[in-house]
Structure formats: C-alpha cells, structure tokens
Amino acid sequence: MENNSVSLHRVIKASPEKVFRAFADPIAHSNWLPPYGFVCTVQQMDFKVGGQFKMTFINFSTGNGHSFGGEYLEIKTNEFIKYVDRFDDPNLPGEITTTIWLNKVFCGTELKVLQEGIPDVIPTEICYLGWQESLEKLIKLVEPEIPDA
C-alpha cells in the first residue's frame, strides 16, 4: 500500500455486465459497499459522467454515521468507473479518487480497484480491510446465478 492509497485485485466468476450493474444500481451498491457492521443509505445516485451521489454509512453497533458525496468523473459501460468522494465531516478534508477497472476474462471478470487521496487521519490499512470486506460482499451478490421462477 502506498501512502494514502489502496489497491486491490480480484477475479470474479460473473460477467463484467453483472459486476458493472452492481456499481450502477443504487440498491445493489448500498448492499455490498459498506464493510461488515455497517449499513448504507443512498440519498442520491445519478450514475452518469458528471452525476452526483450522496450516501451515509451507519455503524450498526453504535448508530453513528458518516456521510459523503461525490461525482462520477468517467464511466465506460462494463469496463471503467472513476469517481471522487468528499466527506461531509470537515475533519476529513480533501477528495478521495476511486478508479475501478473491469476486464472480461475466461472465467468472468478481472476487477481492479485503486483508491487515492485517503485523508491522513484514516489509516490506509483500515481502508484496505474495508475494501476487502466490500469485495467479499460484491462477490456474494454477483456470482450466484439464480434463475427466474
């Protein structure tokens, strides 16, 4: 892990289209994005270049939450997503840039995540652990093939 950034890589047994949809759909996104022990509410999610989003992560044990919002900078359907986050809390200044690459591979999708500009007050290893949990939840969402009844 570089200073103030985390990078993750996974191969997921699901199509890039399905993985991309998990980022684009507000209900799906709120389901897998928060790490274990947190729930997420989405107040706004306009998934397009220049579109804005606003979310809140709530610690289920304490009920305390932190809100953040941002903007989608680049989107290439089923291949690439880049966005910036800004925390509402003035003690967490700056912007975090997250870049997601989706690449079709033989068995599904190669996923790469790069998050840069993490505020100094947040240990990068905590972000890394959080992303690991989020990606576990993403995999549990997109890998099952459940036929319509």
Point out which residues pair with 111 in neighbouring strands: 10, 102
| Cα Rg, the chain, nearest whole Å | 15
pLDDT at residue 64 in the model:
94
CA dist list (Å): 48 to 71, 90, 104: 9, 27, 22
Cβ–Cβ under 8 Å, residues 125 and 15 = no
Query: What pLDDT digit, counting tens, does each position of 67-95 carry?
Result: 999 999 999 999 999 999 999 988 888 89
Answer yes or no: are the C-beta atoms of 109 and 5 closer than 8 Å.
Answer: no
Could you tell me the pTM of the whole model? 0.93
Which residue segments constitute the domains of the chain, with CATH numbers given?
A: 5-142 (3.30.530.20)
Helix runs in 11-123, H state only:
16-24, 26-32
Pairwise CA distance, residues 142 & 47, whole Å: 19
